Amino acid sequence: WDLRGQMLIGPYWRCYYANTQAMIDVVDSNNRDQLPIIKAELLATPSEDELKDAKLFFFENTQDQLNTLTLAQ
């Protein structure tokens, strides 16, 4: 399920969590404004019981651009 950018339905995301084995999060590494939103989402995710055993894969795209985020950021 692609849930990023659908903040209006955020409270209903848990409807998609049943039987989830992995989550993939792709971040635009050139868009620093989205970091607080992503951080809040990632911090809230482990509290969901259905996701406690799910693997998280985290990817940064646009690494070839200037002024992109570093892995530490």
Residue 5, annotated as binding a ligand: yes
Cβ atoms within 10 Å of 46's Cβ, excluding its own:
11
Residue 33, annotated as binding a ligand: no
DSSP state of 71: S
Residue 61, annotated as binding a ligand: yes
Alpha-carbon distance of 70 to 60, in angstroms, equals 9
Residue 67, annotated as binding a ligand: no
Q: What is the dihedral of CA 36, 5, 32, 39, to 10 degrees?
A: 30
Which residue positions form the known binding site? 5, 61-64
Which residue positions form the known binding site for GTP? 5, 61-64
